A and B are shown apart, each in its own frame.
Chain A
Amino acid sequence: GAGVSQSPSNKVTEKGKDVELRCDPISGHTALYWYRQSLGQGLEFLIYFQGNSAPDKSGLPSDRFSAERTGGSVSTLTIQRTQQEDSAVYLCASSLGGTGRNQPQHFGDGTRLSIL
Chain B
Amino acid sequence: AQSVSQHNHHVILSEAASLELGCNYSYGGTVNLFWYVQYPGQHLQLLLKYFSGDPLVKGIKGFEAEFIKSKFSFNLRKPSVQWSDTAEYFCAVRSGANNLFFGTGTRLTVIP
- A residues apposed to B, CB below 8 Å: 3-4, 31, 33, 35, 40-45, 48, 50, 56, 58-59, 91, 93, 101-102, 104-110
Pairwise interchain contact B102-A107, C-beta atoms closer than 8 A: no
Q: A107-B44, A110-B43 are in contact. Are A43 and B99 (CB under 8 A)?
A: no
Q: Which residue of B lies closest to A46 (CB)?
A: B99
Pairwise interchain contact A107-B104, C-beta atoms closer than 8 A: no
Set of chain B residues within 8 Å of A35, measured between Cβ atoms: 100, 102
Pairwise interchain contact A43-B43, C-beta atoms closer than 8 A: no
Secondary structure class of chain B's binding surface, majority of residues: strand
In order of increasing CB-CB distance, the 9 nearest A-B pairs are A43-B102, A42-B104, A107-B44, A42-B102, A104-B46, A107-B43, A45-B99, A109-B43, A102-B51
In the bound assembly, the distance between CA atoms of A66 and B46 in angstroms comes to 27
Pairwise interchain contact A56-B99, C-beta atoms closer than 8 A: yes
Set of chain A residues within 8 Å of B42, measured between Cβ atoms: 109
In the bound assembly, the distance between CA atoms of A86 and B107 in angstroms comes to 24
Q: Which residue of A lies closest to B104 (CB)?
A: A42
- B residues apposed to A, CB below 8 Å: 4, 32, 34, 36, 42-46, 49, 51, 90, 92, 94, 97-105
Q: A56-B99, A102-B32, A104-B34 are in contact. Are A42 and B105 (CB under 8 A)?
A: yes
Q: A102-B32, A104-B34, A108-B43 are in contact. Are A41 and B104 (CB under 8 A)?
A: yes
Q: A104-B46, A110-B43 are in contact. Are A43 and B100 (CB under 8 A)?
A: yes
Pairwise interchain contact A48-B99, C-beta atoms closer than 8 A: yes
Set of chain A residues within 8 Å of B90, measured between Cβ atoms: 42-43
Q: Which residue of A lies closest to B45 (CB)?
A: A107
Set of chain A residues within 8 Å of B99, measured between Cβ atoms: 45, 48, 56, 58-59
In the bound assembly, the distance between CA atoms of A43 and B90 in angstroms comes to 9
Pairwise interchain contact B4-A42, C-beta atoms closer than 8 A: yes
- 26 A-B contact pairs sorted by A residue (CB < 8 Å): A3-B43, A40-B104, A42-B4, A42-B90, A42-B102, A42-B103, A42-B104, A43-B90, A43-B92, A43-B102, A44-B102, A45-B99, A45-B100, A56-B98, A56-B99, A58-B99, A59-B99, A91-B44, A93-B44, A101-B98, A104-B34, A104-B49, A105-B46, A107-B45, A108-B43, A110-B43
